[in-house]
Chain A
Amino acid sequence: MKFVRGFGKFLFEFFIGDTPELFVLGVAVLAIASALLQFLNAQALVIVLLPLMVFGGVLGSVLLERRRKSR
């Protein structure tokens, strides 16, 4: 039980850690891109939107941390 709990904690730290927003972003990017492709067959839109969402998310997280540190 202790091992399972320790492994769970390790996985949490590994994938989420102090940046839960990036974990949510990764899953959201996948969900939005899949939905657009599945329901609207919007190939061109997803090609542009997917990298934009990724970069926008990282930039947002950087700016958030910068604001947090400047307080």
Chain B
Amino acid sequence: MTELSTSVVLVLFGTVFLASAVEMVEALTIVVAVGITKGWRSAFEGVAVALMALAALVAVFGPALSRIPMSSLRIVVGTVLLIFGMQWWRKAILRSIGVKAKHDEDAIFAETVEQLQQSPSGTRDAAAFVMAFKGVFLEGVEVVVTVITLGSSAHRLGVAAAAAGTAVVLVAIVGLVVARQLSNVPENAMKMVVGIMMVAYGTFWIGEGIGLHWPGKDLALFVFALIYGLLTWLVVLSLTPRQPSMAVTS
């Protein structure tokens, strides 16, 4: 088993924290839209049931993963992180160069409100419950995958869970205080960092899993993140369309 240094554990905490915060901002936008439009009772019930379903997922898959031999686990987890991280990374690059529209929390909020206004109101609103449940569960599954994969492969499931928990609580508190969607969060930048870190972890764990000896051991993680980050910067710089020059008129 590779003994991870404190700095790597901190990076693990940071990666899981950022990934969870990004997902929770998305979930919070939907929950706030549901709460404001249809009342908080159905919204909170949807959130509570979604959290229970997510806890059940962790309870089932967490212990199961710990029974898999470490090298096989790292290959599986590395591949999952690689595929998952590449999706985030690609999407963030496409948004940065203007090929894909940036994730718009305001638009999601407006769309959710519009959908809910079409359903009849009542003390218990099924549409509101389902929307809050789906918002939290679907975004939460990504958090669970991040926590389980990163945490178990590094033998730091507790650290990963604590990072996710901190992010969830922090986003929830901020959400309650401002009582609206968090549209000013630099989501694309966060997603870019998380995508790069996930791919760095994926590359590292796949190598470890197949018996590769990385030079500098776990420092290779930082090197990957640095190289991937630098290459991303170059790609974004060269692929971003230049603004057409303004015609000067007299």
Shortest beta-carbon distance from B32 to chain A in Å: 25
Contacts of B82 in A (CB 8 A): 26, 29, 54
Q: Is the CB of B99 within 8 A of A22?
A: no
Shortest beta-carbon distance from A1 to chain B in Å: 20
**Contact of A40 with B by CB under 8 A:** no
Tell me how many residue pairs across A and B have CB atoms closer than 8 Å: 87
Q: Is the CB of A51 within 8 A of B90?
A: no
- The one of B86, B87, B89, B212 in contact with A47, judged by C-beta atoms closer than 8 angstroms, is B212
- The one of A43, A54, A69 in contact with B199, judged by C-beta atoms closer than 8 angstroms, is A54
Q: Is the CB of A37 within 8 A of B211?
A: yes
B interface, size bucket = 20 to 34
Residues of A within 8 A of B (CB): 14-15, 17, 19, 22-23, 25-27, 29-30, 33-34, 37-38, 43, 46-47, 50-51, 54-55, 57-59, 61-62, 65-66, 69
* 17 contacts across the A-B interface (CB closer than 8 A): A15-B84, A22-B83, A23-B83, A25-B86, A29-B206, A30-B78, A30-B210, A33-B206, A43-B213, A47-B207, A51-B224, A54-B202, A59-B235, A61-B86, A61-B90, A62-B97, A66-B94
Extra contacts besides A22-B83, A26-B83, A47-B212 (13): CB < 8 Å: A14-B141, A19-B90, A22-B90, A26-B82, A26-B202, A37-B210, A43-B213, A58-B93, A61-B86, A62-B90, A62-B93, A62-B99, A65-B90
